[in-house]
Structure 1
Amino acid sequence: MTIRISLSGLAILLAATAQAQQAPIGQVGAAAQANLDALTTGAATVVPRSGAYGTIGSPYLDKRWLPGRLQMTNGVPMAPVPLKYDVLNHRLMMLPLNRRDSLLLDDRKLASFQLEEPAINATGIRLRTFRRFLEAPEAALRSEYVEVLHSGKYTLLKRHIKQLRKANYQGPYSSGEQYDQIDDKSNYFLLRPDARLVPVKLTLKAMQAAAPELAQALKAAPGASSAKAEEEWVAVLATVDAK
């Protein structure tokens, strides 16, 4: 099954993108389309079939098409384009202007991407940044993307994980599960100034163990003792990093 979006919906999305960021000269019109065409595999994206009774959960980071910004490995920024990040299959999809089908990106040429997510704040936009997991201890993971929650002397990274559990309702040893299930998981890492990557949980004790030299500063930081959510730890690390 091919993912589609109406022309009116696409027009609204592209208009919002244009307002959020003015495309540089050379990244609009025919030039922009030529650059984007060079990133695609040339084939429409196909969504895998689910079990007989359907699927619970989503393979995507966000089901919506979101305005996205692409950064090439050579440092050249691309024109904004609607994007969808398929976490389960480790792939990035785009919705080009000259087609109604979504296309796979040839992300071997990409270093990072950003998604503009609607948010309630001063700008109305939450900008989420993803880059290659270059510090991963396993070579197989280094081509994956991690989300940069905080960037500074100490960087907080989040690896999004989706896992598929197939339906199991046939046979004498079935569990009775009639639906495929996509489970959401995530791992957090603290990248230290000495380039060491330390797996962490979002607790004060875990952060202090990952960065003993910050133990006192973290303990004294406002909200650190009770911080559990990502947004809370982003604020704590921003305070500690500023010193």
Structure 2
Amino acid sequence: MILRISLALAAALLTTSAWAQQGSISQAGTAAQANVDALVNGAAAVLPRGEAYGTIGTPYADNRWLPGHLHMTTGVPLAPIPLKYDVLNRRLLMMPLNRKDSLLLDDRRVTSFELDVPAGLQPAHQRVFRRFLEAPEPSQRTEYVEVLHAGNYTLLKRFGKKLIKADYQGAYSSGERYDKIDDKVTYYLLRPDKKLEPVKLNLKELQAAAPELKLKGAPGASQAKSEAEWAAVLAAVDTKAANTK
């Protein structure tokens, strides 16, 4: 069961003066946890379930519950809590440590969040998500995009998910018994002049979007393919470009 959370209620319960009175690190941690606890009040709602045999694919940016850090417009401190970003439904889910059910977060006051990814195929790192304020479509500006590189140039990743319902009933059905979630990822390079360029992660397109970075001569650029590799290339040349100004 998913519970819808009212951040308005949380804001009413929390005051900046109460936070200002927290004098020690332990008190600050207690206050931050209390703020998280205040977010779990609200009316019950049920997640919709398909009538097919199951679903192929995932609605989430990452299937795992990962320690998350929320940043609010109010500046109210929050303790880290397990989060998931449900891309298909454009919402944040949280898992309070003292409950067994996930909670639907009313995220209207959330500006950004980070997910702590444990070491695995890559070293432990953070994934950073923020609002897509520069989106070409106004309806997309409340969505979250992942920040792969931030600097004078910013590389953004927009997640797209589309649910294709099972089609196994009727004389003209396709026989597909499973719902399917298709993924469509779009990358954008945000330039210093605020121009947003849709790009593919290859040398040709990134060089065309930012010729002044001179990516053709950058170490590792000719071999870079993955998001992490391109983030490293951009971090190196973006720093050099900043230092030459």
Change (3 A) 1:41 1:171: farther
Do residues 81 (structure 1) and 81 (structure 2) align? yes
Equivalent in the alignment of 2:124: 125
Q: Mark the CA change 1:42 to 1:219 in structure 2 (over 3 Å): closer, same or farther.
A: same
Map Cα deviations across residues 31-81 of structure 1 (whole Å, 9 max, x no partner): 334312444562456332123311111111222211111111134442111
Return 100-109 or 36-45, whichever deviates more.
36-45
- 199-208 vs 76-85, greater mean Cα deviation: 76-85
| Matching residue of 2:110 | 110
- TM-score calculated relative to the size of structure 1: 0.82
- Do the aligned residues in 1 keep the contact of 2:2 with 2:104 (CA within 8 Å)? no
Q: Which moved more, 1:46-55 or 1:160-169?
A: 46-55
Given that 2:93 and 2:104 are in contact with CA atoms closer than 8 Å, whether structure 1 keeps it comes out as: yes
Q: How many residues align?
A: 220
- Tell me how far 1:104 sits from its aligned partner: 1.1
Q: 1:237 maps to what in 2?
A: 234
**Aligned partner of residue 42 in structure 1, secondary structure:** coil
Report the Cα offset of residue 112 of structure 1: 0.5
Partner of 1:60: 60
- Where structure 1 has 5 or more consecutive residues not aligned to the other structure, the ranges are 4-22
Structure 1 counterpart of 2:208: 209
Code of the aligned partner of 2:108 = R
Match of 2:100 in 1: 100
1:240 partner amino acid: V
The whole-number CA distance in structure 2 between the counterparts of 1:2 and 1:186 is 27
- Give the distance between the partners of 1:44 and 1:115, measured in 2 at CA: 26
Deviation beyond 6 Å, 4+ runs, structure 1: none
Q: Does residue 157 of structure 1 match 2:156?
A: yes
Bigger mean CA deviation after superposition, 172-181 or 47-56: 47-56
- Structure 2 unaligned blocks of 5 or more: 4-23, 241-245
| Compared CA separation, residues 201 and 38, structure 1 to 2 (3 A) | same
Paired with 1:90 and 1:24, the residues of 2 have a C-alpha distance of 35
> Match of 1:28, as an amino acid?
G
Confirm or deny: 8 A CA contact 1:111 1:131 kept in the other structure: yes
Does the 8 A contact of 1:131 with 1:147 survive in 2? yes
The equivalent of 1:172 in structure 2 is: 171
Q: Using a 3 Å threshold, how does the CA distance of structure 1 residues 97 and 175 change in structure 2: closer, same or farther?
A: same
Where does 1:143-154 land on structure 2 (aligned, <5 Å)?
143-154=142-153
Q: Match of 1:192? A: 191
Report the residue type matching 2:127 in the other structure: R
TM-score when scaled to structure 2? 0.82
User: Cα deviation per residue 1:152-208 (whole Å; 9 max; x = unaligned)?
Assistant: 010000011111100011122211111000112210000001111110000111011
Deviation larger for 33-42 or 101-110 = 33-42
Q: Residues 44 and 118 (structure 1 numbering): CA distance in 2 closer, same or farther, change over 3 Å?
A: farther
Q: Quick one: percent identity of the two aligned structures?
A: 67
